Amino acid sequence: MLHQPPITLTLFIISPLLFLISAAQARNCNGHAELCGRRYSNISFVGAHDSPFVGPLPSDNQGISVTEQLQRGYRFLQGQTHIDDYDDENPGVLHMCHTDCLLRDAGTVTEYLATVKTFLDNNPDEVVTVLLTNGDDVDISVFDSVVTESGIKDYAFTPSGKLSMDQWPTLEELINSNKRLVLFLDYGADTSKVPYILPEFDYIFETKYGITDPNFPDCSLDRPPGASPDGLMFLMNHFLDIKIIDGILVPDRANAERTNAANGEGSIGAQVETCWQLYQRPPNFVLLDFVEKGEGLLAQDQLNAL
């Protein structure tokens, strides 16, 4: 006669299996199980415009650090880069600088990316997008060097070729492959030399920035000039500026609660409605100043129908 295994042994064998099944069922991707099976190109990411420029000065766009931005749930970070010509000890190093390194210097690009790497190290179910600008037309090899120095390169997603909208992997596929950084550069990217730094305007178009009208009435395609929106993801710039004098704009911190509201006049939702009339789809990316104010993450959930 066959003997049944002891109950304790049966539980010992089955319990880990139940745990693994439960863990798989409970898995979240960027905080939501519903996003796991959706393509990267079919998700809306609300993020931090000029994310490294943190503080109380008129040249600052954010009130909380990059680490805090990530911890709160923002998975899209943008920042300006420039060569720091004012550092006599380390000349020619690529820094996160607002317009000019003499105006606002938030440290090296290597340090900035290392901060993002630390977050990815500690959060294995998260995918982060970084969009860098190349204001000094720096060669792509320099960006490759600083990415390598930061240690984040192993996380970078590298497509096998230029992707159409329906060829992007799902969030879960990016997580399973541990390629959880999507890195764009606005100008100067060359995928024949550095395949993981993606040319922004091969994949994304942007609406206008430098907006001073608090109702954000315009959603027309601004960059790249003359492009068609068809086949491209789109970035909605939704940060409000104040005009000081001609050519000088500063972030409107005082009205950030209204600007970053999910719904209502001048809100994220209101501009999304304007954009919908043109493109019949939600934005893939939304950039905000002062992400600690308002309802950016609520708006993100609404855009993703969560």
Show which residues are catalytic.
49, 98
Q: Region 231-238: what's the mean pLDDT?
A: 98
**Which of 37-46, 80-89, 216-225, 284-293 is predicted with the least confidence, judged by mean pLDDT?**
80-89
Q: pLDDT at position 246, please?
A: 83
**CATH tag, 30-303:** 3.20.20.190
| pLDDT-based confidence at residue 88 (cuts at 50, 70, 90) | confident
Q: pLDDT at position 26, please?
A: 56
In this predicted structure, the answer to whether residue 13 has a pLDDT above a threshold of 50 is no
152-167: b (≥16 Cβ within 10 Å) or e: bbebbbebeeebeeee
**What residues contact 102, with CB distance under 8 A and at least 6 apart?**
86
Distance CA 184, CA 284 (A): 14
Estimate to the nearest angstrom the gap between the alpha carbon of 306 and the chain centroid: 19
In the block, tokens 């879960």 appear at 172
**103-114 residue pLDDT tens:** 999 999 999 999
Q: Region 217-237: what's the mean pLDDT?
A: 97
Q: pLDDT at position 18, please?
A: 43
Strand-strand pairing, 221-223 and 204-207: antiparallel
Q: pLDDT at position 245, please?
A: 86
**125-179 residue pLDDT tens:** 999 999 999 999 999 999 999 999 999 999 999 999 999 999 999 999 999 999 9
Distance CA 256, CA 63 (A): 11
**What residues contact 51, with CB distance under 8 A and at least 6 apart?**
61, 62, 66, 69, 77, 78, 79
* DSSP run (H or E) holding 171: helix 171-176
Distance CA 92, CA 138 (A): 10
Taking a C-beta distance cutoff of 8 angstroms, is the pair 288, 255 a contact?
no
Q: Which two tokens stand for residue 250?
A: 């500063």
The DSSP symbol for 3 reads: P
75-103: b (≥16 Cβ within 10 Å) or e: bbbbbbbbbbeeeeeeeebbbbbbebbee
**28-80 residue pLDDT tens:** 999 999 999 999 999 999 999 999 999 999 999 999 999 999 999 999 999 99
CB pairs under 8 A, 24+ apart, for 83-86? 83/136, 83/138
- What is the model's pTM? 0.91
In this predicted structure, the answer to whether residue 2 has a pLDDT above a threshold of 60 is no
Q: Which two tokens stand for residue 294?
A: 């308002």
The three-state secondary structure class of 122 is helix
**Domain map (residue ranges) of the chain:** 30-303
**201-217 residue pLDDT tens:** 999 999 999 999 999 99
The DSSP annotation for 215-262 comes to T-----EEESTT---TT-EEEEE--BEEEEETTEEEE--TTHHHHT-S
| pLDDT-based confidence at residue 20 (cuts at 50, 70, 90) | very low
Distance CA 296, CA 69 (A): 11
Distance CA 136, CA 93 (A): 12
Taking a C-beta distance cutoff of 8 angstroms, is the pair 47, 286 a contact?
yes
**What residues contact 265, with CB distance under 8 A and at least 6 apart?**
214, 215, 258
Distance CA 236, CA 234 (A): 7
